[in-house]
Structure 1
Amino acid sequence: MIEPCRSANEPLHQRAVVDSLLILDKNAQGKLDRITRLAASYFGVPVALVSLIDRERQWFLSSFGLEVQETSSKDSFCVHAILQKDTLVVPDTASDARFSAHPQVTGGLGIGFYAGQPLLSLAGVPLGTLCILDQQSRTFSAEQVADLRDFAAIVEEYLHGIERSIYTESLKSDLERTEALFEQTFSQAAVGMALVSLKGQWLRVNPRLCEMLGYSEQELLERTFQEITHPDDLDKDLGVLRRLLANEISTCSMEKRYFRSDGAIVWVQLTVSLNRLPEGTHHHFISVVVDITERKVAENNLRTLQHELEDRVILRTQELNVVVNKLNLEIENRVSAQHQLNAEKERLRAITDNMPALISQVGPDEIYQFANSAYQRWFGLDEASLKKMTLRQFVGESAYLEAKPMIEQALQGKSVCFEHELQALSGKLLIHTTLVPGETQGFYILSMDISELKRLQRRLEYDASHDMLTGLPNRRAFLSQLALSMEECTNTKPSMALLFIDLDGFKQINDTFGHDFGDAVLKTFAKLLNGCIRNQGFVARLAGDEFTAILWHLTEPQAEVERYCKEIFMQLAELHSIAERQITISVSIGVAMYSGDGTTAKELLRQADTAMYRAKLAGKGRYFIY
């Protein structure tokens, strides 16, 4: 028998589709048995078969007139049939060079006639055939060919139904997992989160937003954001949303005010993006809300205090001028004015001593002239001690040199703001300082502790760029690092490699042992992968069971990549249990090389992904270099 000529990728692709039907090595299907029985009767032949072609064998999903369930694919008539688009008809096998020496022609079944119609998957991949056999040679008319196609169409529809069912179950599982992750993030977020309709109706709100605004979830859902937005902020808010809808911007961030349920005003940092349906239609807004009321109050208090200080200086100067002008005329008025001045000082002292900020006055010689009690609370220094110190002595040489340009501007009559660190009794504090020029010489110092605010900002930045489960950088951080690494590679010409890593059979692990154990597997592998790469690259989790690694500064790319892949496989081979459960884990790794040749990040990702799938098709637990 002459074996058919098949491309290298065709059997792999076909086998993947056949395996995905999950029906190989299963008992014959009742519906298909009726079809083969009817086909044999209709065409008047002793044998009718529904066969599926695997790499090494053909499996008879249904058979009439034949007892065996499988044969070698090398000896299969059906392998020839699936390689052509139309029906394969062999009227006389003995006279056909392809089959004349076949053992089932010269002996065995003694096949004299064969007709096979290819069965295609939904994607058009040939799965097998519906075929009929006779021991006698015979003619087969065009009408009979058409009838065989009709019988095959019924079998195809049955196989398509299986494909659709499996695909639907897969989509359902993915959707449930995604929805669970979203619900957990949404409900447990430390910031307010909401989905808002295009007309402003609250569609979904999380507990933190309800707590922030003082409404129950149901009360918020019965309102629009316009109803609780401060009127002075509404036009700006709506203007930004119109720009989002017009695709002028992809996201926006603004400070605005909401009215709480008790009528109080809450300041928030609002970040809004637009959710679009797959076809591009606008569907709803996604809002993230952070309460910044305390910061706004502090800023307002600082501005108020600054204005008060300036007003007090002006008032005192006026009062002193009046006193000087009337000094020789009315001693009693001077005493009265002195009493008023003392009262003003006492009031100013009471105000400054009770402010949660450092307030002081420094002369043109940079020696302290006034300091409120916050210096005592923060640094253990009273006003008398400070009046003997210069700025340089108080803040230290290093901090003083950093602040020197701002000090010079203040001495020249300019207000300046800057941030710096100071060592307090409680530890290092991050301070926001404003230098306000005095009415004559020197300047005032207003300093606020912003350490907690900065820690919060750093935490938010970390959360936005890292995966909550494994602690690895997330997709956003990975894409940013990939762009930086490719740019460096282009500029300095060292080679780099992108590894696309997928856990084999992770869905089965989740389905068998539960998602908690699945999470433990992900965290264990993330730690193992990070340990293998160490400081020679960058490791991230994209989503689900997909991980990536960037290896940089490669001098021998092929050898170094193979070493890292083998190190990962070796570490996995030594891993026998997770969470006190015996388990064996394998991964498939796809590798794409880059040496500054102009390949885009998107193309490099595609290459690594393609290589990973080739590794899986080659038997999993392998790596493949694109």
Structure 2
Amino acid sequence: MFEPGMPANESLRQNALDSLYILDSMASEKLDRITRLTASYFGVPIALISLVDRDRQWFLSRYGLDAQQTTRNISFCGHAILRKETFVVLDTGIDIRFADNPLVKGEPYIRFYAGQPLLSLDGLPLGTLCIIDSQPRAFTEEQAVELRDFAALVEEYLHGIERDMYTKNLQSDLQRSETLFEQTFAQAAVGMALVSLDGYPLRVNSRLCELLGYSEHELLARTFKEVTHPDDLASELELLRQLLANEISTYSIEKRYFRFDGLIVWVELTVALNRLPDGSPHHLISVIVDISERKLAETNLRTLQHELEDRVISRTKELNSVVNKLNLEIESRVNAQHQLNAEKERLRAITDNMPALISQVGPDEVYLFANSAYQRWFGIDELSLKKMTLRQFMGETAYQVAKPMIERALQGQTVSFENELQAKNGVLSIHTTLVPCETQGFYILSMDIGELKRLQLRLEYEVTHDMLTGLPNRRAFLHQLEVAREDCLTKGQNMAVLFIDLDGFKQINDTMGHDFGDAVLKTFAKLLSGCIHNTGFVARLAGDEFTAVLWQLSDPRAQVQRFCEQVLAQLAALKRIGEQAVRLSASIGAAIYTGDNTTITMLLAEADGAMYRAKSAGRGQYSIN
């Protein structure tokens, strides 16, 4: 007896069968009708719809047979699914493959077998429609065609189940993606909005509605200009113009909004531009952080400074007016000192409970006052800090960055800047404002802006990179290409622009699924990055379209040819991705820039044309313009 072998695509075939969820299911009257008609039409005692599982064949419908299943190693259908045409055994008794098979020697005493493979939508064999007789018999080509017609009815039933399962899976994936986006957008701790190019909000989250005091419906009916303080509008419109003109990739600004109740709220606004795949702007992404408390703290600090100075002047006048009355003078001094101490305690309570570094430095740059945030952030108490200079506290590197601003503050100017300081829990990004004292030195107010910096970096990365492969996207590619062209023009060097397109990628996506298609794209991106080394860079434009730039070329055509052949050779050597066997190739078009006045638009057009010439020549070809 010959046991049936395994199809080359067994794992895919088994996955397709499992995805139908029909193994060990209840009988179907529609399928039972087909097996009855098949047995009657061909005049045989047994007709079966057999599904070939991992180690068994299970009968989805059966006529003339009591058994529900048999082991796969003795099954006739295991042999039938290895073929695309009808598998026929006219007389098992004289066929060396089956003469000693238990199903021939015993029940149901098979002497004749004809099985037509049942294929999935992707052409994978799931099982067979077969007819069985206990006597040898002839079987004509016309009868084989008729058996295929009956099998087509069964395939139509199985294909309907496949389509239903595919639709359910797509709906489930879409629902999960939409739920994740909605939760992220709705539960963000900062205000977020998607804004159209004409200034109307497309989406707003609950935090932004809460911040501005509007309902979502009310906020969507207003442009950002309507809720912006007029004194802040011109500067933001200029930044927006630069963003739309691609002069900047994002911008941040401190501005004022009008709340629904007419009050003003200070915010820090960060804006990035979302573009369509063709590069045209689509909408704005805005992140709004409430900084009203910080602004209030700055105002209170200035107010307290002036109040303290006014009180000293007032007390001095009072003491001069009663200098001839010793007792009253002493009493006034005591009262003044008591009130001054009370003010200091109040100032201390306020500054110690603010989430910021607040201190005063003398003209010799030695600390005179520091709130408790220094202890929390750096583990340095006020007593130790009063023995230190700014240079000793900040460290030489940070001090040299801040020194020009310190000199301006000592000259009476209010200045702000950003720097980094080493804290107990790591390096902090700090926004610092130096406010001059009228008497001596200056005040320091420092806020931790690390979270804002991380958000800005993340937005900048997402704007310039492809999220699937991690390669630069079209926008970053065009910018880097222009920089490379200008550098080559300045230095009199050569470079090349390449368009690279995976052959047959749409078919891979359609037949193997988008997840596997994504795995192919990531593998290809890694392969290209390995081939480019340090001689240029690679980017993904869209879909299966990739680009590369080779620069500082001494022998352009030979070097481009070597690169193309290396890419194609490594693709041809790639046999598997994960558990899936693959056969990949690409079409490559290249345009060489020799330092003339050719623009990047012309270079891209030349490379694109060369790529299409390579694709017209067949799979795995390249063309150099």
CA contact (8 A) 2:197 2:284 kept: no
Q: CA deviation at 1:529?
A: 0.8
Distance in 2 separating the partners of 1:425 and 1:345: 28
2:548 corresponds to:
549
CA contact (8 A) 1:258 1:266 kept: no
1:395 corresponds to:
394
Aligned length: 431
Distance in 2 separating the partners of 1:476 and 1:231: 32
1:411 corresponds to:
410
2:317 corresponds to:
322
Would you say 1:313 and 2:311 are equivalent positions?
Answer: no
CA contact (8 A) 2:574 2:583 kept: yes
1:600 corresponds to:
599
2:506 corresponds to:
507
The SS at the match of 1:535 is coil
1:582 corresponds to:
581
1:565 corresponds to:
564
Mark the CA change 1:557 to 1:258 in structure 2 (over 3 Å): closer, same or farther.
farther
Pick from 269, 284, 288: which aligns with 1:291? 288
The SS at the match of 2:429 is strand
2:269 corresponds to:
269
Distance in 1 separating the partners of 2:234 and 2:282: 12
Q: Please, what TM-score do these two structures have when normalized by structure 2?
A: 0.61
Q: CA deviation at 1:396?
A: 1.5
Distance in 1 separating the partners of 2:209 and 2:239: 26
Mark the CA change 1:613 to 1:365 in structure 2 (over 3 Å): closer, same or farther.
same
The SS at the match of 1:497 is strand
Would you say 1:303 and 2:298 are equivalent positions?
Answer: yes
Mark the CA change 1:518 to 1:300 in structure 2 (over 3 Å): closer, same or farther.
same
Q: CA deviation at 1:569?
A: 1.5
What are the superposed Cα offsets for residues 239-294 of structure 1, whole Å, 9 maximum, x if unpaired?
9999999xx97999775637589x99684737598999x9x9xxx9734221222x
Q: What is the identity, as a one-letter code, of the residue corresponding to 1:213?
A: C
1:257 corresponds to:
257
Of all paired residues, the percent bearing the same amino acid is 53
Mark the CA change 1:506 to 1:256 in structure 2 (over 3 Å): closer, same or farther.
farther
Q: How does 1:30-45 map to 2 (within 5 A)?
A: none
Q: CA deviation at 1:570?
A: 2.0
Mark the CA change 1:221 to 1:352 in structure 2 (over 3 Å): closer, same or farther.
closer
Mark the CA change 1:305 to 1:564 in structure 2 (over 3 Å): closer, same or farther.
farther
Q: CA deviation at 1:224?
A: 4.0
Pick from 213, 226, 231: which aligns with 2:209? 213
Q: CA deviation at 1:369?
A: 1.2
Distance in 1 separating the partners of 2:380 and 2:197: 56
2:46 corresponds to:
none
CA contact (8 A) 1:323 1:334 kept: no
Q: What is the identity, as a one-letter code, of the residue corresponding to 1:286?
A: H
The SS at the match of 1:213 is helix
What are the superposed Cα offsets for residues 11-42 of structure 1, whole Å, 9 maximum, x if unpaired?
xxxxxxxxxxxxxxxxxxxxxxxxxxxxxxxx
The SS at the match of 2:470 is coil
The gaps in structure 1 that reach 5 residues or longer are: 1-175
Q: CA deviation at 1:479?
A: 0.5
Q: How does 1:419-438 map to 2 (within 5 A)?
A: 419-438=418-437
Mark the CA change 1:510 to 1:300 in structure 2 (over 3 Å): closer, same or farther.
same
Q: What is the identity, as a one-letter code, of the residue corresponding to 2:308?
A: V
Q: Please, what TM-score do these two structures have when normalized by structure 1?
A: 0.61
Distance in 2 separating the partners of 1:242 and 1:378: 38
2:539 corresponds to:
540
What are the superposed Cα offsets for residues 496-517 of structure 1, whole Å, 9 maximum, x if unpaired?
0111101111100110011111
2:29 corresponds to:
none
Mark the CA change 1:389 to 1:530 in structure 2 (over 3 Å): closer, same or farther.
same
Distance in 2 separating the partners of 1:414 and 1:267: 24
Distance in 1 separating the partners of 2:348 and 2:207: 38
The SS at the match of 2:591 is strand
Distance in 2 separating the partners of 1:235 and 1:368: 37
CA contact (8 A) 2:227 2:258 kept: no
The SS at the match of 2:440 is coil
Q: What is the identity, as a one-letter code, of the residue corresponding to 1:209?
A: N
Q: CA deviation at 1:237?
A: 6.8
Distance in 1 separating the partners of 2:399 and 2:240: 46
What are the superposed Cα offsets for residues 227-246 of structure 1, whole Å, 9 maximum, x if unpaired?
8986554898799999999x
Distance in 2 separating the partners of 1:525 and 1:464: 22
Pick from 210, 222, 230: which aligns with 1:226? 222
Mark the CA change 1:454 to 1:336 in structure 2 (over 3 Å): closer, same or farther.
same
Q: What is the identity, as a one-letter code, of the residue corresponding to 1:322?
A: K
Mark the CA change 1:574 to 1:266 in structure 2 (over 3 Å): closer, same or farther.
farther
2:159 corresponds to:
none
1:37 corresponds to:
none
